[in-house]
Structure 1
Amino acid sequence: MSEKTILVWFRNDLRIHDNEILLEAVRKADKVLPVYCFDPYYFQRTASGISKTGSFRARFLLEAVADLRKNLQGYGAELIIRTGNPAEILPQLAEQYQVNEVYHHREVAYEETEISEQVETALWKLRLNLKHFIGHTLYHKEDLPFPIKDIPDSFAVFKKKVERDSNVRPCVPTPEHIVTPEITDAGELPTLSQLGLDEIVDDPRATNYFQGGETAALVQLHKYFSQDDVAVKSKSSRNSGSNNSSKLSPWLAVGCISPRQVYWEIFKHNQDGNNQNASLLKLELLWRDYFRFMFKKHGQKFIKAKTAEDEAPVLAVNELDFNKWAHGETGVPFIDACMHELNATGYICNQCRQIVATYLVHDLKADWTRGAAYFEEKLIDYSPASNWGNWAFIAGVNDAKESKYAIAAMQPKDMVSDFVTTWQPSPIDEAGDLMHV
């Protein structure tokens, strides 16, 4: 009887713990073939000349993939790494290793789903099935109290019904051992230069450094809750100036840690419901789910006006003004401080993102999609649904029944008195950093 081999196509699920496709492959197959593809599509330059993936996020991704390989080796397995079009690479590997089926986690944004469709078509020519799993949300689609087409467009209604009528599934077990076929050429990690990106010189003023990988993600998860427990016991205030941000968003964005892992850690540390930071973190996970489900329900329509009549006119912003915004040269100290930090580190806090986006859209009257594309390049924790969904919220172009952020209505000039024009790391740092995951 021939052995069964399942290829596990890793994308934004770079972890071993709470990874359903990896566990299911181990259970269903004699051998598992883990694969990661660096798709050149994500490292190309757009029509406006910016990279789809900037150097900070690419470095984080390289570290995450390297850590996944190391962790798989600890389970007796190996990760195949390739650079190229997955629709070409995966069928080649499937034939080479006599693969019977391919597993992957389904995405929701149109670029990612289009790539999945290309892979599915290519595999089907070999009579191989691409099996889709849903593993990027806190609440599983099948556990929602409504079908996708009937999900409330109002976040408040969505939150109320989901929390009342749905449960978060437990994390799936971690495989005890992973058997891979004999791999003759596992492949090497590309360098930043091989991906067409500049090498990074870290700014010495940066207070945050994000090391990619599941290992670092779990360290940050436990570190955050340990610090939070101490703060709760000492009854420290969120407004005391202490840093209350979880800073888990980069690892969640590429799946080094799952939303369920974060949720059950919240549950363990907040069973009495009195920990405000834990409650805010859970709220951000719900927003993250909401954006993904909205993209699943509406597709690209979610980030477009309902009709041409509803669409507010966009003035052609002066190119010089946009470049001043992007480079932190607007002359508004708070805006410039935030943009300097973004450009120097690949990360700014939630409130900074809201304020600089509001300034670009409502003060400069710029096309919001240019700002969203700029964030796509720069942010370490970029995730399509949350990034584009949040910018659409600020621009007021989607079907949401209420604005998420009261802070979006604030004018930057109301907040600049406490800040100078030179960059200061994290001018405001709150627990809401997951908004762009």
Structure 2
Amino acid sequence: MDKVLSARFGKIKPDSVEEYIAAGGYEGLKKTMAMEHVDAIEEIKKANLFGRGGAAYPTGIKWEQAYAIQRGPKYMVCNGDEGEPGTFKDRHILSEDPFELIEGMTIGAYIMGAREGYIYIRGEYTAIQKIVDSAIKNAEKAGYLGKNILGREGFDFTLKVVSGAGAYVCGENTALVESIEGKTGRPRQKPPYIKNCGLYQMPTILNNVETYSCIPWIIKDGGDTFSKKGTEFSGGTKLMCLSGNVQNRGVYEIPFGMTLRELIYDLGGGVTNGRKLKFVHLGGQSGSCFPESLLDTKICYYDLKKAGISLGSGAVVVVDDSHCAVDYLKNSMEFFEEESCGKCTPCREGTYRLVELVDKFTEGTATMEDFNKMKSLAQTMKTSSFCGLGQSAPVPLLTLIKYFEEEFLEHINGTCRTGVCKMR
């Protein structure tokens, strides 16, 4: 299978500039420096590269809009927080090939005229932070970061690793920027948007680790070539995290257009212990849960959207038929209750109340009124929460009810078919 992002995984010393260059690294940066800035952006637009962090905004359009902003200084910021349960793809880039991220950000800095950049890495990735720090220092020594990069007068760019403190909400771009500034990580009102008013109230280009890491390949080999690796609507390849009740757990780089069934059964080896698949949780804890009937959907932003689901970060959690949908939901809701930043009432109070209601189902004390109240509260949170955390927290609840409503109704009668819940 043709690889873009993972081609060097396990084949080079992660912080060695020499080994990275010997394996084809920094060719993208050199090519960018020989191009007009707008031509480099045009290649990214041709690539049909959507943001890989979950929002799926077209990267070329984002960079074009940011380039058009005249005021400065501009900043390059990378979201390496990766706090979504079931998502562990960025850690492989950061720990096995951090230079493709560093090169991608440096290309962006050249295009935008940015002189400073920050890589925000979750606090739990302590060892990985040291690897990235070492890679940055070695890039500076070799002349690929710092002053007059590659001998180009006035092309100065420095990078710094910033450690998160374990707050999931800092995966939201404005909360991440607040955290870098030393403030409590809570989301800002939008507009103004990050590209206009981001870090220190200045224009900021903020992308995910995987998104930045695609840039060197796109510039080196061309946007059209990258786009053709995927589908008409989704260019390139995607790192997918496969976990749960599946034989071969891990990170897989796949071309867009592969089906979920092919990922789970051909690459993942199918469900463990000969059991049947019950549902898949796609896109992290804030993503949709759906049954086997949707597994033939292509992994493509357009096809998934047509099916009413979202790719999110690319996490795929496989759940077999030994699990109770209500019990699984309880774990998801407890995560959001813990991680709500408390800024807005719908999320702060809503996550707490949803856990209370789901608890009643797992204990066998829920009523039909509780069922209706739970659905109503979830819809309220989805439409009125301040940021993406509160808006997406009810998604697993609403989708599990959509496909497994009878299981929730059974719990009202004090019955759990799997025997997992602590019923009366």
Under a length normalisation based on structure 1, what TM-score does the superposition of the two structures give? 0.28
- Output the TM-score relative to the length of structure 2: 0.28
